[in-house]
Amino acid sequence: MLYPGTVTLEGEKRAAAEYAAGLVEDGMRVGLGTGTTVAPLIPALAARGLRLRCVATSEATARAAEAAGLTLDTLDGVGELDIAIDGADQIAPGPWLIKGGGRAHTREKLVAAAAARFVVIASHDKPVPRLTPPVPLELLAFGLEATLRRLEHAVLRGGAKSPDGGVIADWTGPIDDPAQLARRLEGEPGVVDHGLFAPTLVTDVVVATGEAIDHTR
Ligand code: 5RP
């Protein structure tokens, strides 16, 4: 017998991912996010044996999907997506999301925006009462110092670049109003994209808490 307290975060991520795999139907064009919550989605989708065309948001996801036998395409190849499924770093009321802990938020936002349905999957630790910094940023390498100076509250994360060669940094300033901050960041030359995902992008949130799944649509 399982007790709620014995379900690990990894188990919750698997439960949310497997639940979301059940939302996918034969013939769909599916966007695949990036991260540890999406990782168990890939075998769960493959196990369903559906005819799907999948678009991966990172090399890691593409490799895993290919290894699982899923058919990959490009976003331009499929045009639009029926569904996209992805994790999040924070889920605040709205729902507003912070994404990009895995450096893939620019591609993830393109995929979410192309999808008729964008399903966010998460373990119980991701919902928060309000978003808190950092907010991942992808910056152009050209003029990087000037961009950082203008942003004032951005620090380089170091490590790998984005899948498209962008420099990854984090906004460390306040998030008093996510919509206002999103507008400000979108207006800054040199910012390719930021990890704030507006409620207009999100259709479904699936959160696993212990053995329970909460699906808000
Ligand atoms: C990657 C992301 C991920 O969805 C986010 O970082 C959550 O990751 P995980 O599922 O590993 O907790 O935005 O860029």
Query: Is the C-beta atom of 87 inside 6 A of ligand 1?
Result: yes
Give the pLDDT confidence score for residue 5 in this predicted structure.
56
Provide CB contacts within 8 A for 183, sequence distance 6+: none
Say how many Å lie between the CA of residue 174 and the centre of ligand 1.
Answer: 21
Say how many Å lie between the CA of residue 108 and the centre of ligand 1.
Answer: 10
Q: What is the DSSP string of 99-163?
A: --TTS-HHHHHHHHHHBS-EEEEEETTSB-SS--S-EEEEE-STTHHHHHHHHSSEEE--SPPPT
Q: Where are the beta strands (DSSP E) in 50-114?
A: 53-56, 83-86, 90-92, 96-98
Query: Is the C-beta atom of 104 inside 6 A of ligand 1?
Result: yes
ipTM for the complex? Answer: 0.99
The DSSP code for 81 is B
**CA dist., res. 168 & res. 160, Å (int):** 8
C-beta separation of 93 from 64 below 8 A: no
Give the pLDDT confidence score for residue 163 in this predicted structure.
82
Give the pLDDT confidence score for residue 1 in this predicted structure.
39
**Residue 52: half-sphere exposure toward Cβ, Cα within 13 Å:** 30
Closest by CA position to 92, among listed 127, 134, 132: 127
Say how many Å lie between the CA of residue 154 and the centre of ligand 1.
Answer: 20
**Residue 173: half-sphere exposure toward Cβ, Cα within 13 Å:** 15
Cα 132 to Cα 86, 128, 169, 200, distances in angstroms? 20, 9, 16, 20
Tokens coding 50 = 């559906």
pLDDT in tens, the chain (217 residues): 345 557 899 999 999 999 999 999 999 999 999 999 999 999 999 999 999 999 999 999 999 999 999 999 999 999 999 999 999 999 999 999 999 998 999 999 999 999 999 999 999 999 999 999 999 999 999 999 999 999 999 999 988 898 899 999 999 999 999 999 999 999 999 999 999 999 999 999 999 999 899 999 9
**CA dist., res. 103 & res. 112, Å (int):** 15
The DSSP code for 73 is -
Query: Is the C-beta atom of 95 inside 6 A of ligand 1?
Result: no
Query: Is the C-beta atom of 14 inside 6 A of ligand 1?
Result: no
Classify residue 4 by burial, with Cβ atoms within 10 Å: 0-12, 13-18, 19+: exposed
Known catalytic residue at 108: yes
Provide CB contacts within 8 A for 118, sequence distance 6+: 31, 83, 84, 86, 112, 201, 202, 203, 204
